[in-house]
Structure 1
Amino acid sequence: MTTIEKTTPRYQGKRHRLAKPELLAPAGNLEKLKFAVHYGADAVYIGGQKYGLRSNADNFSFEEMKEGVEFAKRYGAKVFVATNIYAHNEDVEGLEEYLRALEHAGISAIIAADPVIIETAQRVAPKLEVHLSTQQSTLNWQAVQFWKEEGLPRVVLARETSFKDIAEIKKHVDIEIEAFIHGAMCSSFSGRCVLSNHFTDRDSNRGGCCQSCRWKYDLFVDDMPMYDEEEDKFTMGSKDLCMIEYLPELIEVGVDSFKIEGRMKSIHYVATVVNVYRQAIDAYFEDPEHFELKQEWIEEINKAANRPLNTGFFLDEPGAEDHIYEPEEKAAPYDFAGIVVDYDPKTSFATIQQRNHFKVGQEVEFVGPEGTFFKQTVTEMTDIEGAGLEAARHPLQQIRIRTLKPVKPMDMMRKKLGRK
């Protein structure tokens, strides 16, 4: 069941006034960066061609970084670059040139774990802020104080940090705290996994994780498999993190940056999750005393959920129920169908760039960052020249459909699976 299941009493911290926290979103490529920013991110984190932990993402060239920085600036947003590998000797060659190039591209900060990358950035690219990566597994205020004294303005806490831990850190150290509040969790401590190294010779801590915990395994007793051929195999991946229900507690305990995981995730995932947290953060600061969680936010989160959701380590220690041992269906299985390119108010026809197959007679819904949200059935469809179509079958094909309400460029269209 793709819902937040825990009912542990919430953290009862002292209420105090804070500046509005940063909403930090993942961006696996330039298009995702633009959608993340357009849908409400205050900052995005990306990967370059080197030194990051997502070597399989569509990582950015320096030219793409410059374009991304310019786009983000138009929205008042920032761009960070993950340089969070643990470097081996051969990785250090070219590091100075790479960091200078990031500074030249207008990157606001790097996210780093290895001391050699941290020290080198401080020395050769002083305009780059250095944020300590979650890969350093920072859990206590003394460690945070150490990194502050090393000149770092922000620490990304380990995913294993609780509300109580954060409160203690903020009590003792005046520093920016960034915490993951949504997305995939690692079954190993703060991502320090070597399964990938052993199974595929791909180093998780140098960007090569093969997601071993998500594989399907058989279990054996006395060399006999426990599962029949037709049965689903065993997995051992963690459920995903979702803290939308505990947004006030995150704000009041002093988290300065709310980080969403997912540089490998889709545009639909990034835009949907960012849009929900943007609305929730803004609603809280409009009226903190009367803030209420909206059910529609939970429903939207579930439409983009890849796995069942939980609250990680914030409330208590995760147990067996917080891992996925067999396949589970999504609670609200939606599929990303297209992106609005243009809209003609005279004809009520929208131009849509197709991202997944859809057809006449199918129910779809539109969603956007400026209040767009409605459902309708596709009644008319043509290609860009006006020829009638029954279905949009071709990837990135531009088609035109009549919409019940006005839509805007970069609004998304999605379809509910299993429905006509």
Structure 2
Amino acid sequence: MTDIQKKPELLAPAGSLDVLKTAVSYGADAVYIGGDHYGLRAKAKNFTMEEMAEGIKYAHAHNVNVYVTSNIIAHNQDLIGAENYFKELESIGADALIVADPGILHIAKQVVPDMPIHLSTQANNTNYLSALFWHNQGVERIVVARELSLEEIAEIRRKTPLSLTLEAFVHGAMCISYSGRCLLSNYMTGRDANKGDCAQSCRWRYHLVEETRPGQYMPIEETERGTYIYNSKDLCMIDHIPELVKAGIDSFKIEGRMKTSFYVGSVVKVYREAIDDFFTDPDLYESKKAYYLEEVAKFSHRDYTKGFYFNKPLGTEQIYTHNTYIRGYSFAGTVLDYNPETRVALIEQRTKFSVGDEIEFIPYKESSFKQKIEALWDEEGNPIGSAPHPKQIVRLKVSRPVEKNILVRKKDSEETK
């Protein structure tokens, strides 16, 4: 393709070593992770320094970069120990630091001057002059604010040097507050969103209380739909790859450091396929849009939105009726091994399945394929009718060869949705 820019990086989240390896296996070009300090996902499993070293080594062996989040809005006490932490990250080979706070940036530039610095969306970068300002401070990449349109991002791209790369979220949870700057959780629960401990107070159900009628809770209803007034839909741009590329975005970022390996692997796989299809043949990509949208509907999500990319969000971008996820499929298990002679796969179960059920294997590169379970055996080879126990090891015959560690899913019944 000669009339468009280079293929963008596909950047995946990882809250644990297992998720990192899954993201790498399913085609991520880079992974962003957090350590025990300075990141904005305090409730994620996060990585010890030893796990980060192992994850970086694994990723680099597969030509994948690893970026480490250090994007809290720091108070004085948060600066203590940052120097040694950044030096350790440099020593284990981290490819970049993601920061938001000027003080944290200052420390990083002082102690690890050769470490690439990415500016977090938490820094609220919404225009080309602020992008140039941060670039002059040594920032090599801007994660643009979620509140920008594609047109605004394209203007930033035109008015900044190519030595400054642009990263933007393309999939995952949206925030009700401006680029994540929120005090609602801190005010209501004492958990500071700007230090990674958000209680997601925006997704709770709210009522009104009139001051002379304590205890009488009146629902807040713009219509009959409900009362989840702050609850935003999830972002999904899988059907707008050409527009994202044309805007000059260098890195497509998936949200979700709290998510499971099943979620991350599933999202990475479909975006990898969509990006590769577009750069192989735009007509192929266009012909497969319905398929991509069908795939992103299969894993856990809220109703989807295009965020700010095309228009300012209106009331329709909120979910008023519930704060739960839509889930079409469940994580059925992981392939531990495969015997090509017997065509039998060894699977670690995650959701109950039985003889007669249909499951779906998710290969790393090829299309997913469905398989009806004709027979099941336990780990010792004894016939069984179902696998009801969490992490139960079972054997089943498959119609095609399968790779180790690929994911297996199962369509939810109406009763389990």
**TM-score (norm. length: structure 1):** 0.92
Within a 5 Å distance, the mapping from 1:404-419 to structure 2 comes to 404-418=399-413
Whether the 8 Å CA contact 2:301–2:326 is kept in 1: the answer is: no
Q: Among residues 362, 366, 384, which one is paired with 1:367 in the alignment?
A: 362
Whether the aligned pair in 1 keeps the contact of 2:145 and 2:179 (CA below 8 Å) is: yes
> Does the CA-based 8 Å contact 2:189-2:199 persist in structure 1?
yes
Match for residue 341 of structure 1?
A: 336
Q: Mean Cα displacement is larger for which, 325-334 or 122-131?
A: 325-334
**Distance in 1 separating the partners of 2:219 and 2:50:** 51
AA matched with 1:18: Q
Residue 228 of structure 2 corresponds to residue 241 of structure 1 = no
Return the match for 1:119 from 96, 103, 106.
106
Which amino acid in structure 2 is aligned with residue 81 of structure 1?
V
In the alignment, is residue 321 of structure 1 matched against residue 308 of structure 2?
no
Q: How does 1:260-409 map to 2 (within 5 A)?
A: 260-288=254-282, 291-294=285-288, 295-327=290-322, 333-409=328-404
1:226 deviation in Å? 3.8
**1:148 deviation in Å?**
1.0
- Between the two structures, name the one with larger relative contact order (CA 8 Å, sep ≥ 6): 1
2:194 maps to 1:205: yes
Alignment RMSD (CA, Å): 2.0
Alignment partner for residue 71 of structure 1, among 29, 36, 58? 58
Partner of 1:158: 145
**Superposition deviation, residue 220 in structure 1:** 4.6
Distance 1:141 1:105, change over 3 A: same
Provide the secondary structure at the position in 1 that maps to 2:139: coil
Q: Displacement, 1:395?
A: 2.1
Q: Which residue of 1 aligns with 2:39?
A: 52
Distance (Å, rounded) in 1 between the aligned partners of 2:63 and 2:275: 17
Structure 2 gaps of 5+ residues are: none
Deviation at 1:284, TM superposition (A): 1.2
Q: Does 1:225 align with 2:212?
A: no
Amino acid at match of 1:225: Y
Pick closer, same or farther for the CA change 1:376–1:398 going to 2, 3 Å: same
CA displacement 1:191-230 (0-9 Å, x = unmatched)? 11111101110111011101111222334566643459xx
| 5+ long unaligned stretches in structure 1 | 1-14
Counterpart-to-counterpart distance in 1, 2:111 and 2:307: 37
CA contact (8 A) 1:232 1:327 kept: no
Q: Distance in 2 between matches of 1:91 and 1:366?
A: 45
What does residue 249 of structure 2 align with?
255
> In structure 2, what residue type is equivalent to 1:158?
A
Q: Taking structure 1 as reference, are residues 28 and 248 closer, same or farther at Cα in structure 2, changes over 3 Å only? A: same
User: Structure 1 CA distance, aligned partners of 2:149 and 2:414?
Assistant: 41
Give the deviation of 1:305 after TM superposition.
3.6
Measured against aligned partners, the alpha-carbon deviations of 1:354-387 in whole angstroms (never above 9, x if no partner) come to 1222222222111122204211222211111112
Contact 1:354 1:399 in 2 (8 A): yes
1:366–1:412 contact (8 Å) kept in structure 2: yes
Offset from partner CA, 1:252-274 (integer Å, 9 cap, x none): 11000000000001111101110
Match of 1:42 in 2: 29
Residue 17 of structure 2 is matched in structure 1 by: 30
Match of 2:132 among 134, 139, 145: 145
Q: Does the residue aligned with 1:324 lie in a helix, a strand or coil?
A: coil
- Alpha-carbon separation, structure 2, partners of 1:289 and 1:377: 33
Letter in structure 1 aligned against 2:217: P
Decide whether the 8 Å contact of 1:362 with 1:419 is kept in 2.
no
Q: Distance in 2 between matches of 1:412 and 1:197?
A: 37
User: Which whole-Å CA distance do the structure 2 matches of 1:285 and 1:316 have between them?
Assistant: 26
Using the TM superposition, name which of 398-407 and 290-299 deviates more: 290-299
Structure 1 residues 132 and 401: alpha-carbon distance in aligned structure 2, compared to 1, 3 A threshold: same
Offset of residue 289 of structure 1: 6.1
Per the alignment, residue 196 of structure 1 pairs with: 185
Cα offset, 1:330, TM superposition: 6.3
CA displacement at 1:332 relative to structure 2: 5.8
- Asked if the contact 2:4/2:245 (under 8 Å) is kept, the reply is no
Per the alignment, do residues 217 and 40 of structure 1 end up closer, same or farther by CA in structure 2, a change over 3 Å counting? same
Deviation, 1:299, is: 1.0
Q: Distance in 1 between matches of 2:59 and 2:46?
A: 17
The residue type equivalent to 1:151 in the other structure is G
By how many angstroms is 1:123 displaced? 1.4
Correspondence for 1:171: 158
Q: Is the 8 A contact 1:183 1:261 kept in 2?
A: yes
